[in-house]
Amino acid sequence: MKTYKYLFLFIFGFSIIACSDLEEDARSQLEPDERVLDLETVETTIAGGYSHLDARAFMSRALGLTLMLRSDMVDIGNPGTNAERIEHDAFALSTTNPLILNVSNPERSFWPRMYQMVRSANETLKELEVLEDQEAGVKEEIAARARFLRGFAYYHLVRLFGDVPYLDDTTLVSEASAAERTPVDVVYENIIADFEAAKAGLPNTRDNRALPGKSAATAYLASVYLTRGEYQLAYDEAKEVIDNADLYDLALDPDYRNIFHAINTDNSKEPIFVIDFVATNIGDESRDYLAAFTGFFGQATYYPSGGWSVMVPAQSVYDTWDDADYRKSVCFDAEAIFNDMGNPMPIDFNNFSSLDGRNANRPHISKYTAMAGDAMQANTSGRDSESNYQLMRYAEVLLIAAEAAVETGRTAEADQYINMIRARARGGDGTSTSAVPADISGATVSDVLEERRLELAFEQKRWYDIVRRDMGDEVFGPNGFEGAGTANFDKSRDYLLPIPPLEISNNPNLSQNPGY
């Protein structure tokens, strides 16, 4: 055991200072100038970093709302919902939007949370430098987890904000407090380096896929290269996962519904990296808020009180999806069960507002409500669910490979990967076989993007696809799913989010993104 005296490596404006009090970071309760380090302490540090993934500031609420509402797949349902959500949906974003940085409650916003992930990863790596030798591979595996988390956090940050301050485990306090925005290309170089290091040090498989394995690091490398337009490299990384699917214990689940079922997904080979909710919360953290935001008021279909009808697909998203595609029945609720004096009664989506005037009369998303586990029955609005959010799954790797294959002249191979996914969609739950969706031949990039839109619907992928493929003018134009509802869209501004003004005030070396 060694004593290691050091200062916290991050002092980055208000966000990082405020985040030092977050309960999820167990290290923040200890004195920063002196630490007694052993393997258990280091494990606590990296576990604290991963705990931010299921925080309400990340996919469950703040970032999940942002990514889904900014896409063309999801619209506002209840018009009386908070303005911070409507701003993202309408592309009328204020620079002080609380989902990005909530000055009063920074723990509820995703800018500070993602830098908190980075901080935990950096602290872990610094601690490992002075930790006494452990059995072979132990320190390397912990370092790989830290590098994966740092790469993962920056991969979101760079896509959301563009140039961002890049702070690593070598950054000095004096440098961090006045850090300039690091160019996008340099940030990506570091992300790739982190995922490469994670790939080298992580195990082939995990019993708990809330922790990354080698396939997760490889899949994210493929995703990064796809985003960068480096299609041969994207193909190589995705193909490595596909070719080693048995080694990594991966496969398409025979039933699409199992992937989103709270219990069945634990036995599925499709998930690669997930957020695993366990039906408990501390201080309103570790809660599945998307169940509430996508459910509808006043129904007893899944849990007593229903949801909040905030994020609801545009009607045309539902109407244009072929009814014979099994995935449609998994993705949408077009009917509610109303408990009328103890008598359950079905209500069609056209009459959802009869249950509660705040409900939109449109089909609602069911991926976060229909299969979230028995624990939802006993709590308000379904937030204490047992759901798994699919951050990366095998079907997405197939689609990354398909898109990269098209771009590198391997059209027949792209057809093969798409048709694997379509065959599962035709097979349903195994009791019947549909003719829809039919096999494809001669796939184009547009075909792959459309397959991604359907297969990965409502999984926080669509906004990033729109940006990386510069589809904004098309999908938010008059012929898009939301029609005139996105008339404010301006790609010269809206592909990036604003840097929080308080950060710029605290650090004059920062600048604002164009248009804000």
SS3 of residue 261 by DSSP: coil
281 belongs to a structural domain: no
- Is the same domain home to 177 and 312? no
Examine the domain organization and report whether 325 and 186 are in the same domain: no
Residue showing tokens 């297969």: 455
In a domain, 210, yes or no: no
Given 356, 386, 416, the domain boundary residue is: 386
Which is more confident, 413 or 356?
413
In terms of Cα–Cα distance, which of 136, 390, 155 is closest to 259? 390
Segment among 18-32, 150-164, 293-307 with least mean pLDDT? 18-32
Q: What was the pLDDT predicted at 20?
A: 35
Are 190 and 317 found together in one domain? no
Distances in Å between the Cα of 138 and the Cα atoms of 43, 135, 149, 170, 211 are: 11, 6, 17, 22, 15
- Dist CA 500 CA 62 (whole Å): 15
With respect to residue 515, please indicate whether it lies within any of the assigned structural domains. Answer: no
Please check whether residues 41 and 138 belong to one and the same domain.
Answer: yes
Beta bridge partners of 4: 35
Same domain, residue pair 302 and 190: no
| One domain for residues 28 and 170 | yes
Query: Residues 196, 308: one domain?
Result: no
- Averaged pLDDT, 364-392: 77
- Find all residues with CB under 8 Å of 136, minimum gap 6, and list them: none
Give the SS3 label for residue 346: strand
Averaged pLDDT, 409-421: 98
* pLDDT exceeds cutoff 60 at 21: no
CA 366 – CA 296 distance, rounded (Å): 10
Mean pLDDT, rounded, of the chain:
89
If asked whether residues 300 and 190 sit together in one domain, one would say: no
Spatial separation of the C-alpha atoms in residues 363 and 484, rounded to whole Å:
20
- Compute how many other C-beta atoms are within 10 angstroms of the C-beta atom of residue 14: 17
Other beta carbons less than 10 A from residue 478's beta carbon: 9
**With bands split at pLDDT 50, 70 and 90, how would you rate the model's confidence at 445?**
very high
User: Is residue 427's pLDDT more than 90?
Assistant: no
Task: Reply yes or no on whether the pLDDT at 31 is more than 60.
Answer: no
Largest CA distance in the chain: 66
pTM: 0.92
- Asked if 192 and 313 sit in the same domain, the reply is no
Q: Quickly state the pLDDT bin for 167 (edges 50, 70, 90).
A: very high
Per residue in 40-76, pLDDT tens?
Answer: 999 999 999 999 999 999 999 999 999 999 999 999 9
Question: Do 169 and 29 share a structural domain?
Answer: yes
Identify the band that residue 298 occupies on the pLDDT scale cut at 50, 70 and 90: confident
- Identify any residues that bridge with 393 across adjacent strands, giving them in sequence order: 271
Residue 135 pLDDT > 80: no
Strand partners for 348: 335
Within 295-331, residue ranges assigned H as helices are 315-319, 326-331
**pLDDT at residue 24, as a whole number:** 38
- Does 128 map to a domain? yes
In the chain, helix, strand, coil percent, each to 5?
Answer: 50, 10, 45
Cα separation, 42 vs 163, whole angstroms: 30
pLDDT at 446 over 80: yes
Reference 499, options 64, 62, 173, 13; nearest CA is 13
pLDDT score of 4 more than 50:
no
Which of 343, 362, 386 is the last residue in one of the domains? 386
> For the ranges 13-22, 110-119, 134-143, which has the lowest average pLDDT?
13-22
Whether residue 164 is contained in a domain is answered as yes
Q: How far apart are CA 421 and CA 502, in angstroms?
A: 45
Q: Is residue 173 in some structural domain?
A: yes
Tens-place pLDDT, residues 352-370:
998 889 999 999 999 988 7
N residues, the chain: 516
**Which residue did the predictor score with more confidence, 481 or 8?**
481
Q: How many domains is the chain partitioned into structurally?
A: 2
Domain range for 56: 2-202+498-506
Structure confidence at residue 19 (pLDDT): 38
**CA-CA distance, 162 to 169, in Å (whole number)?**
21
396 vs 390: CA distance, rounded Å: 10
pLDDT of residue 107: 92
Closest-CA residue to 285 (of 69, 105, 502, 17): 105
Q: Which of 352, 386, 420 is the last residue of a domain?
A: 386
Q: Is the pLDDT of residue 6 over 70?
A: no
Give the tens place of pLDDT for each residue, 204-251: 999 999 999 999 999 999 999 999 999 999 999 999 999 999 999 999
Q: Specify if 419 maps to a domain.
A: no
Whether residue 460 lies inside any domain: the answer is no
188 with 308, same domain: the answer is no
pLDDT at 471 over 70: yes
Q: What is the CB neighbour count within 10 angstroms for residue 284?
A: 13
Residues whose CB falls within 8 Å of the CB of residue 97, separated by 6 or more in sequence, listed in order: 84, 87, 88, 497, 498
Domain of residue 160, CATH code = 1.25.40.390
Q: What is the pLDDT of residue 374?
A: 58
Q: How confident is the model at residue 132 (pLDDT cuts 50, 70, 90)?
A: confident
Q: What is the mean pLDDT of residues 450-465?
A: 98
Percent of the chain with pLDDT over 90: 72
pLDDT in tens, 149-164: 999 999 999 999 999 9
